[in-house]
Each structure stands twice: as C-alpha cells, then as structure tokens.
Amino acid sequence: MRIAWKRRDFLVGAAIFAVASQAESQTLRQVSIGLSSTSLGTAAPRIANELALFAKHGLDPKFIVLDSANAAIGALISGSLKVVLSGPTELIAAQARGQNVVAIATTYRGLGQCLVLAKAVADKLGVSPTAAVTERLKAINGLLLGAPSATSIATIALKGAANAAGASVRFTYMDQPTMVAALQSGAVQGYIASAPFWAFPVTKGTGVLWINGPAGEFPVQYAPANTGHLEMMRGFAEANRDLVQGIAAVLADFVEALDDHPAEVKAAVAKLYPDLDAGTLDLLFASESLGWKAKPPTAADFAHDIAFLKSSGVLLPRIDSLDPASMVFR
C-alpha cells in the first residue's frame, strides 16, 4: 500500500512539474476574472489555479473580488471586466434589459447558500431547526435578514420559498463578510450566504443553521439549476473563442480533479482558506465539492432558472420573450 501511495504521489508531482515546465516554455495569456465574492461557492476558478490548471491551458488569471454577483455583472456590462463569475439570475436580468451576456462555463450547480439565524433569535421562534422546512420558513416571518443583493440567487430563493410558505421577510443588502459582523452586532437577525460565511457563527455557537441549500432543503421550484457561471458579453466571446475554450477546459479539468485527486483539491482549498480549522474544512468540503462538480450550462438550465426567477415575483421587462438558448455560448 505504501508503495502504491508513493507511486501516486510521484505521478501527481510529475504532472505538476510538467505543467510548470509547459508554463515556462510558453507565454501565458493574462486574463482578469471578476469574482462575486470570496466564498467557496465562487472558489472553483481560484482552486483550479492553485492546481495549475489555468497554466496547463496557457492562461494566467488575475482574480478581482467584487461585492456581489450584481456588482460583477455590472462590471461586465460596463466593460471594466471581460470575464466575471456571476449568477444565472443576474444574466437573465441583464438579457431582459437588452444586454447580450452569455454563460461560457458553470462553476457551481444547485443552490450553494444557507440561511443562518442568530441563536438568540432562533431560540425565541419556538420551532426546531430540524422541523419541516415549511415550518421553519413560516417561523422567519417578519425577520430582518442579510442578503447579497436584490437579484442574487440567495435572495430570490429565500423570498420565493418564504412567500410560498406564507412568510414575508425583510432584506438588507451587504457583502458576505459583512454579514458575519452584522449578525454578531445584532444589525440583522439572520442572513443567507455561501460557505464559508454561513459556517462561522454556527461553529462558534452564536448562530443556527436554519435552512441548508446544498443539502437540497429548498423546494426544487425555489432553487436554481446552477448558482454560478463564468460569463462574457457575446461579442467578446465570439471574438475570443480560444479563450472561451481554454476557460471551459480549465473547469472541465477541475471537475475531473475532484474525482481523481480529491486530497490535492482539498489541500488547495486549505491553502486558500487558512482560517478554516480541520473540522470545518471537512464539513464544508463534503458539501461544496458536490456543487463544484458542475456540467456545462444548457438551455434547459436557463429555462428552469427563468421560471425560478419569475416564481419570486421579481418583475423584469421582456422576461417572457427571452430565449434560454441565447444565454449559452456555443
């Protein structure tokens, strides 16, 4: 067994050395990529870079962290960035307003966010955090909750599910790191966020995990097909098909790495998130790695997410005339 592991380590090391040698022998194309946050839900490109997968495909990424998916799509439309990681709902909203934004790769499937309540708030609701989801949704009626933006997947999922259960919640918008402090100070009674941000108060005992998105606790009609895509303006994508293909190949290799070399992927996550203790890392990696195993975006995905967006009651111009196939770059 020890010999087999040594051979495996040698092969992995040789592969990394080969990629590094390839990177040295060619000029890597620099590409700036806007990320909607530093959450694990948006971490796939950064983890892939730690694994030298961008260099393998001749790319040298520079990651720019923005406040939200809404800010990321705004930077794309303004031309400040040519590639961003944002959500399908932001893309749909952009197309509804005449902006030809397209998805070139999927970075996270399903809903990656969780709703956390302050423990003091949860204790007063009279409902167990293990009660039926409908009962937990009813219990949050009237609460003030933090969310990334009005058009974020997290906001739309929670608003739609809460309304269906007969609850109405109030939202205040902020970036995810701020949510942790806002809960601690009492500025909000809870928040919905991606990992690792939802986990911090839970592991400290000051928060309660109320509804778990990655575990599939949100009803299907109130959860997106995908949480994250890498997106471009169509004109730029058409003029840079080699870049599109390279980025898509990086994400495909990352999915393979999750299956073939999970220990190396986990080590890369630990490097990117050094503040995570071993137990929290194990907990988050088990759920996040499922979301990272994403497939290329499809028209069917966007048809689902258009219906998901409409179910929330968000009013968008032209939404009924949008073509889901136009949202996927081919």
What pLDDT, in 10s, does the model give residues 133-178?
999 999 999 999 999 988 788 998 999 999 999 999 999 999 999 9
**Which pTM value belongs to this model?**
0.81
Q: Which domain holds residue 138?
A: 114-222
Q: Which of 173, 205, 222 is the last residue of a domain?
A: 222
- Verify that 170 and 268 share a domain, yes or no: no
> Are 70 and 131 members of one domain?
no
CATH for 187: 3.40.190.10
- Residues whose CB is less than 8 angstroms from the CB of residue 256 and which lie 6 or more positions away in sequence, other chains included: none
- Residue 188: HSE in the Cβ half-sphere, 13 Å Cα cutoff: 25
Domain co-membership, 105 together with 10: yes
Report d(CA 80, CA 72) in Å as an integer. 10
Alpha-carbon distance of 41 to 184, in angstroms, equals 23
The answer on 100 and 139 residing in a single domain is no
CA distance 270 to 275: 8
End of a domain among 188, 222, 256?
222
Q: How far is Cα 33 from Cα 61, in angstroms, rounded to an integer?
A: 7
Predicted local distance difference test score (pLDDT) of residue 8: 41
Residues 17 and 65 in one domain: yes
| Contact (CB, 8 A) for 116 and 183 | yes
pLDDT at 25 over 90: no
The pLDDT tens digits of the residues spanning 8-19 come to 444 444 445 445
- Average pLDDT, stretch 87-99? 94
252 shares a domain with 210:
no
Task: Give yes or no for residue 52 having a pLDDT over 50.
Answer: yes
Q: Which of 222, 238, 267 is the last residue of a domain?
A: 222
Q: What would the mean pLDDT of 45-63 be, rounded to a whole number?
A: 98
Amino acid present at 85? L
The pLDDT value given to residue 96: 94
Average pLDDT for residues 211-220, to the nearest whole number? 90
Do 135 and 170 share a structural domain? yes
Q: In terms of domains, do 14 and 74 share one?
A: yes
- Examine the domain organization and report whether 140 and 286 are in the same domain: no
pLDDT tens digits along 250-292: 999 999 999 999 999 999 999 999 999 998 999 899 889 989 9
Q: Are 175 and 195 members of one domain?
A: yes
Number of domains making up the chain: 2
Mean pLDDT of 72-93: 96
What per-residue confidence (pLDDT) applies to 7? 40
Same domain? 133 vs 102: no
